[in-house]
Structure 1
Amino acid sequence: MDNDCLFCRIVAGEIPATVVHETDTTLAFRDIDPKAPVHVLVIPKGHHPDVASLARADPSAAADVLAAAAEVAEAEGLVKNGYRLLFNTGEYAGQVVFHVHGHVLGGEPLGPMLAPR
């Protein structure tokens, strides 16, 4: 755990979140600034700064994050019409919290691209 990391603090229960899915290795919760009708963040419980470092350090945890994202999409009713799974990696990509997190977005047509925040 990184004590300065917002998402590590959510995992530890120090900061509240609207949790929609949890496994032994992952946590999924609603984004506080949604960009679509459904906007859920899926994170590994262990701290890794981005998806590339997670994949290198713990491929099993990376697979768990993808599986959890698929389960969230199914539970949120997004599978039929489609959804976007997005990982921002680094400052130029718009990553704000440096704990890897996948955005599960859907519930309406999203268009070809998302605008940066």
Structure 2
Amino acid sequence: MNQPGEDFYCDEALSGRTPVTVVAETADVLAFEHTRPFWPVHVVVVPKRHVPSLTDLGEADEALLGRVLAVVRQVAADVEREHGACRVLTNLGRYQDSKHLHFHVCSGAPRHPDTD
């Protein structure tokens, strides 16, 4: 089980404690604008139920992962069409700050905190 503060998505975004701007939504998946974007276009796609990571699906099944990836594909296609390019990434292990499966769909040059 996660420690408090390890899962921003369950604790904040999905609970409604932190408001988000929805980009796409299904019964199982939420895509929203990142609350602290690192790229000019920065969308996060998460399953609505807790899934630890891409390599640890917890109690979820491959079918849920497929539904998450379908939304990632939709959002990525929209970003690519509108901006000409995009990247899709996820983090694992110590690179994964929030211990909830999430994909970043981004476009543009990374923002630097000291210049924003």
Structure 2 unpaired stretches of 5+: 111-116
Aligned letter for 1:49? P
Which position in structure 1 is the counterpart of 2:51? 48
Cα 1:37–1:55 shift into 2, 3 Å: farther
Cα deviation per residue 1:17-73 (whole Å; 9 max; x = unaligned)?
A: 111111000001111222222111100011011111128841111111111011112
Partner SS, residue 57 of structure 2: helix
Which position in structure 2 is the counterpart of 1:36? 39
Which position in structure 1 is the counterpart of 2:92? 89
Which position in structure 1 is the counterpart of 2:9? 7
1:69 aligns with 2:72: yes
Which position in structure 2 is the counterpart of 1:101? 102
Structure 1 unpaired stretches of 5+: 111-117
Cα 1:55–1:85 shift into 2, 3 Å: farther
Partner SS, residue 56 of structure 2: helix
RMSD after superposition: 2.4
Greater Cα offset, 38-47 or 55-64: 55-64
On the 8 A contact 2:39/2:109 being kept in 1, the answer is: no
- 1:3 Cα deviation after fit: 9.0
On the 8 A contact 1:27/1:43 being kept in 2, the answer is: yes
Greater Cα offset, 54-63 or 18-27: 54-63
- 1:109 Cα deviation after fit: 6.2
On the 8 A contact 1:54/1:61 being kept in 2, the answer is: no
TM-score, structure 1 as length reference: 0.76
Percent identity, aligned pairs only, is 36
Alpha-carbon separation, structure 2, partners of 1:85 and 1:61: 18
